[in-house]
């Protein structure tokens, strides 16, 4: 397969390279530990926190009646293979903790804190989703997900999700070939589609008259932690597929920083939308780390179980910070 043909297949992957160390549009982004924030211990909480970070856990006080899941494979079923190495997914942990696997999180999930049941969780996320505005002028997949949501939902409504990795992978061709004009067009099309989806989610009365909406969505992580070195250290092998195309050791962040910067700027335009810093959360947990610190599944693309637990903590801190 030629490099051009191989690169053309990049968009089929489910999540991708990261961009910049963007901060959130709200205080919710200060979550690099992936653990909920608190100033006083809550009964039953472990002040030492055996999960990511060391802050005590608390129940969020801004109760939402419906939770919507949007986005790509991180918010869906990961790679769809060997799921025991990836489960439980962050979205399921938010709804109902796995007390056997994560006893330190017992009592800190939305089923417990908000009495939220499964019928109030609406999932439209799907592996392979992109936010990029399609070249034929049709809406992006992310926008289509949002548009497919019911016209009325019990509020307040909380929307959580992940997006952008597939967009970056699809645009990597132009980065590697040094086509700066097309690379910028890729970012612009991504921002247009992402903004359209955020605008649809937050437009007045989207889910009914007076229904409040909060959106927490992640920026994009980098499996190499910016180094451009893609080696899955737990198995002592190079990452396969797309990552073989990246020049060994060529830093990824300078080439891709524009994506997260643009995403941050766009998100700030929509009241109620906050970016969570997934990239910062994954610092020190990249594919090059030993098994005990590595938060990636063996495909070097998707989070493993530990990664999803970290992402759960990132979202939990964002939810706790809502007013």
What are the pLDDT digits (tens) for 68-95? 999 999 999 999 999 999 999 999 999 9
8-state DSSP, 237: E
Look up the pTM and report it: 0.84
Q: Is the pLDDT of residue 3 over 60?
A: no
E strands, 72-211, in order = 121-123, 157-162
Q: Which helix (H) or strand (E) holds 111?
A: helix 110-113
Q: What pLDDT is attached to residue 62?
A: 97
Give the C-alpha separation, 252 to 259, whole Å: 12
Report the helix count and the strand count for the chain, using DSSP H and E. 9, 7
Mean pLDDT score of the chain, rounded to an integer? 84
Q: Give me the mean pLDDT over the 116-120 stretch.
A: 96
In the chain, what are the domains?
3-320 (3.40.50.1110)
Residue 60 confidence (pLDDT) above 90:
yes
């Amino acid at each position: 397969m030629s490099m051009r043909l191989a690169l053309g297949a990049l968009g089929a992957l489910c999540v991708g390279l990261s961009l910049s160390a963007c901060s959130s549009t709200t205080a919710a982004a200060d979550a690099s530990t992936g653990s909920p924030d608190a100033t006083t211990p809550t009964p039953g909480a472990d002040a030492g926190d055996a999960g990511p970070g060391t802050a005590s856990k608390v129940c969020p006080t801004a109760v939402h009646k419906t939770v919507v899941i949007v986005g790509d494979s991180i918010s869906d079923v990961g790679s769809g293979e060997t799921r025991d190495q990836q489960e439980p997914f962050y979205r399921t942990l938010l709804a109902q903790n796995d007390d056997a696997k994560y006893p330190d999180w017992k009592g800190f999930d939305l089923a417990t804190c908000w009495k939220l049941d499964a019928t109030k969780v609406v999932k439209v996320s799907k592996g392979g989703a992109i936010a990029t505005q399609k070249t034929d002028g049709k809406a992006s997949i992310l926008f289509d997900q949002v548009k497919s949501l019911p016209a009325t939902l019990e509020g307040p409504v909380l929307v959580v999700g992940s997006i952008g990795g597939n967009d970056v992978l699809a645009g990597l061709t132009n980065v590697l070939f040094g086509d700066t004009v097309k690379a910028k067009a890729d970012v612009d099309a991504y921002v247009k589609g992402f903004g359209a989806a955020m605008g649809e989610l937050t437009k007045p009365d989207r889910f009914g008259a007076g229904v409040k909406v909060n959106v927490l969505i992640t920026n994009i992580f980098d499996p190499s932690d910016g180094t451009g070195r893609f080696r899955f250290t737990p198995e002592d092998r190079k990452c396969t597929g797309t990552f073989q195309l990246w020049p060994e050791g060529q830093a990824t962040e300078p080439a891709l920083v524009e994506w997260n910067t643009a995403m941050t700027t766009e998100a700030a335009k929509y009241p109620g939308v906050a970016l969570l810093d997934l990239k910062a959360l994954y610092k020190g947990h990249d594919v090059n780390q030993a098994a005990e610190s590595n938060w990636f599944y063996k495909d070097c693309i998707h989070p493993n179980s530990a990664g999803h637990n970290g992402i759960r903590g990132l979202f939990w801190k964002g939810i706790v910070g809502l007013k």
